Amino acid sequence: MSTRARTYGGATSGERRSKRRAALMDAALGLVGEVGVGGITVRGVCSAARLNDRYFYESFRTTDELLLALFDEQIALASTVMLAAIAQNPPDPMVRARAAIGTGLRHLTADPRRGPLLIGSQATEGLRARRRDLIKSLAQIMAEQGRALLAGQQALDPDLDLAALTLVAGGFDLVTGWLQGEPDITREHLENFLVAMVTAPRVSGTPD
């Protein structure tokens, strides 16, 4: 007996389901910019995606689940381009910091729908947890890059992880505020400041 999936219009049921799921997530990303995370509803997303609400529930149980999937998707996209930018540059702290930060900011602003999602990432407990996990993940990458690029005792500094976490958390808050117009500076200005902040020499807090 053939086990090939039945097709309709040249697509299998799994392919059609994936297409509907992508349409719902794309619609939700657009709506976040219009009504905010708190304004997302099943009816609104389905209307924007031009799908019956029964198709919503084949992929998501709630709008919170949809928003988490959307956040994860956007973070995966951003992480891919930022890690690629790091890998494509020589092992120099300043060069790699600029590559990662500049690429991240350009990716964030390339689609105007992404900013509102980041701004709204503290609107629900689920999104706040995702945001915290993202900050810890980025801080870990920063600390690992620091240890790989630094030599001698600096690479062994036990406070390197704390410094990375502090810088990433502060940088996240700064970028979120910048997306809302505070501070009112250019993307290039913000990039230069963040690069300087993460590459500045740090005085260790470890006592002698």
The predicted-structure confidence for 181-197, as pLDDT tens digits, reads as follows 999 999 999 999 999 99
Q: For residues 196 and 45, give the distance between their C-alpha atoms in angstroms, rounded to a whole number.
A: 41
Question: What is the end-to-end Cα distance of the chain in Å, rounded?
Answer: 75
Predicted model pTM: 0.85
Q: For residues 108 and 179, give the distance between their C-alpha atoms in angstroms, rounded to a whole number.
A: 10
- The string of pLDDT tens digits covering residues 30-63 is 999 999 999 999 999 999 999 999 999 999 999 9
For residue 3, pLDDT over 50 is answered with: no
Q: For residues 194 and 42, give the distance between their C-alpha atoms in angstroms, rounded to a whole number.
A: 38
Among 1.10.10, 1.25.40, 1.10.357, 3.30.1910, name the CATH number for the domain at 64-199.
Answer: 1.10.357
Domain boundaries, the chain: 64-199
3-state helix, strand, coil in the chain (%, to 5): 75, 0, 25
Listed in sequence order, the residues at least 6 apart from 78 whose beta carbon sits closer than 8 Å to its beta carbon are: 104, 107, 108
